[in-house]
Amino acid sequence: MNIRNDKTEITGLIIITHSNYGEALLRAAETILGPIGNSIAMSVDITADVKDTVDNLRKTAEQLDMGNGVLILTDMFGGTPTNLSLSLLSIDGVEVVTGVNLPMILRAASQSYLNAAALAEEARQAGLQGIVSASDMLRQKRG
């Protein structure tokens, strides 16, 4: 399986969450890595029309897709941002991963040369690896 695009294009990244959580995560990632290209954070306005929100999300995905696909990171499975994002799975090259956290964004940004499907798996793994019970880890080291 060829996970690189033949061009120098990078996979688009959309972080869509409740409130401004995604914007804060993207800013934090940029503090660590510097500017992250081909990415945007969006928040869901629950007072907005669902169709308008999905249309905006679709247009954003189309703008960010440079031929390598788009990875959409959402805050939680079953939440409105995820439910709206799932409607874009009918578009070739769009992947959705839930449970966004800072390690996911850092991995996605640093490996954006991967296609959307491969990047989705990398982001998922980074998210899982970033969840650690520090107190348990320290107890085991002392043990």
Residue 55, domain CATH: 3.40.50.510
Amino acid of residue 70: V
Is residue 31, in this structure, part of any structural domain at all?
A: yes
User: Is residue 97 within 8 Å of 120, Cβ to Cβ?
Assistant: yes
Counting the structural domains of the chain, the total is 1
Provide the whole-model pTM. 0.91
96-121, pLDDT tens digit by residue?
999 999 999 999 999 999 999 999 99
24-82, pLDDT tens digit by residue?
999 999 999 999 999 999 999 989 999 999 999 999 999 999 999 999 999 999 999 99
Write the secondary structure of 8-74 as one string of H (helix), E (strand) and C (coil): CCCCEEEEEEECCHHHHHHHHHHHHHCCCCCEEEEEECCCCCHHHHHHHHHHHHHHHCCCCCEEEEE
The C-alpha atoms of residue 5 and residue 26 are separated, in whole angstroms, by: 24
The C-alpha atoms of residue 90 and residue 25 are separated, in whole angstroms, by: 27
13-23, pLDDT tens digit by residue?
999 999 999 99
Is residue 48, in this structure, part of any structural domain at all?
A: yes
Which domain, by its residues, includes 102? 12-142
Is residue 115, in this structure, part of any structural domain at all?
A: yes
Is residue 38, in this structure, part of any structural domain at all?
A: yes
